[in-house]
Chain A
Amino acid sequence: MMTGQAGKRIKMTKSVTNGVFSPPAKGTATAAPERLKSNQHLRRNPPIAGEAEAIAAAQTGDAAAFERLYSLHKRRVYSLCLRMLGNVAEAEDLTQEAFLQLYRKIGTFRGDSAFSTWLHRLAVNVVLMHLRKKGLPQVSLEETLEPSQEDGPRKDIGARDLMLSGSIDRVTLERAVSDLPPGYRLVFVLHDVEGYEHNEIADMLECSIGNSKSQLHKARMKLRDLLRTGQTSARREALL
């Protein structure tokens, strides 16, 4: 069962483009601070031996090739679903749905983007559609990406305590991420965990690039709040 913020209403709409900055050109990511960017090319689209052949074969209906694609990508698709839903049964159900959609649509893949990016976009849409069905459809994704005041991060003006550096382990961070509002969580996972660029995220979520950047920043700010105050919940044990 969907709980808390994950049950908010979602409708995929294009956002108003305010304060949009040009997306970084392909191949220029190294100009950004290494601490933020150094892991991206290693994680998102690493060369996968035999993938291109499997795609071509699957497009002709080769069942073994489709199974190969499933084996190659099931973990990342499932992890995305699990992080967004916090529920193993639902995550597996949506993973199944994503790959069934892949089977139906793989003939339309033309290689304009990396296959993993294309598949991830498909999986994101499956997740968003599921969240929309679980909530009420009248509220836009834009609003989902913009949580209520109490859910959003605070500005850090005034005396605070020690910095986080060195204090976060994986379990703690996973719990904090699971407590983010769904819009923040999705952008954080896609950018900071999966390594997608803002222009790709904007394309997946049908929002503006500026909105993606803004939500990522707010997600990090909210995570900082959660981690510093120890307000993360113990839900989503399945993730840990």
Chain B
Amino acid sequence: MNAGSKNNEFMKTTGPSTTCAQFQDQLPELFESGADLKEQEHLKTCEQCSALVSDLEYIAQQAKLLLPIHDPSPAVWENIQTSLSSGKQDSGSRPVK
């Protein structure tokens, strides 16, 4: 199924008579379908679900802020080197910090 037909399918199932519960049940698929959620009929008349969709999109967007920023301490590499040089590479035999 291509994205267009999938979008059409969702459009059919989220019409004006769709309840909030029904709409929210379909949200995971809607997000992943690539559909433009603003075009969903239910959102045109439901402030609550519109706010929900905006929040979820905002959270996903803000996740960019959580890119890795910390490095492990130098002791980690030192311990790895120690383990490798001693030939002990199993978890139970690595150096105790």
A-to-B contact residues, CB < 8 Å: 19, 21-22, 24, 28, 31-33, 35-36, 39, 43, 63, 67, 70, 74-76, 78-80, 82-83, 89, 91-93, 95-97, 99-101, 103-104, 155-160, 163-165, 168-170, 173-174, 177, 188-189, 192-193, 198, 213-214, 216-217, 220-221, 223-224, 227-228
In the complex, the answer to whether B91 meets A156 with C-beta atoms within 8 Å is: no
- A97-B94, A198-B32 as given contacts; A192 in contact with B60, CB under 8 Å: yes
In the complex, the answer to whether A78 meets B71 with C-beta atoms within 8 Å is: yes
Instruction: List residues of chain A with CB within 8 A of the CB of B60.
Output: 35-36, 192, 220
In the complex, the answer to whether A163 meets B80 with C-beta atoms within 8 Å is: no
In the complex, the answer to whether A224 meets B76 with C-beta atoms within 8 Å is: no
A-B contact pairs, 10 of them (CB 8 A): A31-B34, A63-B84, A74-B77, A75-B71, A96-B80, A100-B83, A101-B89, A160-B51, A170-B66, A227-B59
- Give chain B's interface secondary structure class: helix
Instruction: Determine whether B18 belongs to the interface, using a CB cutoff of 8 Å to chain A.
Output: no
Instruction: Determine whether B49 belongs to the interface, using a CB cutoff of 8 Å to chain A.
Output: yes
Instruction: List residues of chain A with CB within 8 A of the CB of B65.
Output: 169-170, 173
Inter-chain contact count A-B, CB under 8 Å? Answer: 155
In the complex, the answer to whether B63 meets A100 with C-beta atoms within 8 Å is: no
Q: Considering only CB atoms, which chain B residue lies closest to A99 in the complex?
A: B80
Instruction: Determine whether B13 belongs to the interface, using a CB cutoff of 8 Å to chain A.
Output: no
In the complex, the answer to whether A160 meets B48 with C-beta atoms within 8 Å is: yes
- A100-B83, A217-B31 as given contacts; A168 in contact with B3, CB under 8 Å: no
- A157-B24, A165-B58, A198-B32 as given contacts; A188 in contact with B63, CB under 8 Å: yes
List 6 A-B pairs, minimum CB-CB distance, nearest first.
A79-B68, A192-B63, A217-B28, A170-B65, A78-B72, A31-B34
In the complex, the answer to whether B20 meets A165 with C-beta atoms within 8 Å is: no
- Give chain A's interface secondary structure class: helix
Chain B 1-39: CB-based contact to A (< 8 A → 1; otherwise 0): 101000000000000000011001001110110101100
Alpha-carbon distance between A39 and B59 when the two chains are bound, in angstroms: 13
Instruction: List residues of chain B with CB within 8 A of the CB of A159.
Output: 48
Q: Which of B24, B59, B67, B79 contacts A43 (CB 8 A)?
A: B67
In the complex, the answer to whether A75 meets B21 with C-beta atoms within 8 Å is: no
Closest chain-A Cβ to B82's Cβ sits at a distance in Å of 10
Chain B 33-71: CB-based contact to A (< 8 A → 1; otherwise 0): 010110000000000110110111111111111111111
The interface centre, meaning the residue of B20, B29, B67, B84 with most chain A CB atoms within 10 A of its CB, is B67
Alpha-carbon distance between A174 and B67 when the two chains are bound, in angstroms: 10
Q: Which of A91, A103, A170, A213 contacts B72 (CB 8 A)?
A: A91
In the complex, the answer to whether A165 meets B91 with C-beta atoms within 8 Å is: no
Alpha-carbon distance between A239 and B2 when the two chains are bound, in angstroms: 41
Closest chain-B Cβ to A108's Cβ sits at a distance in Å of 14
Q: Considering only CB atoms, which chain A residue lies closest to B92 in the complex?
A: A97
In the complex, the answer to whether B24 meets A156 with C-beta atoms within 8 Å is: yes
In the complex, the answer to whether A164 meets B58 with C-beta atoms within 8 Å is: yes
In the complex, the answer to whether B89 meets A103 with C-beta atoms within 8 Å is: yes
Alpha-carbon distance between A91 and B71 when the two chains are bound, in angstroms: 11
In the complex, the answer to whether A224 meets B59 with C-beta atoms within 8 Å is: yes
Excluding A36-B31, A78-B72, A163-B55, 7 further A-B contacts by CB distance (< 8 Å) are: A33-B57, A74-B76, A93-B97, A100-B94, A165-B54, A224-B55, A228-B55
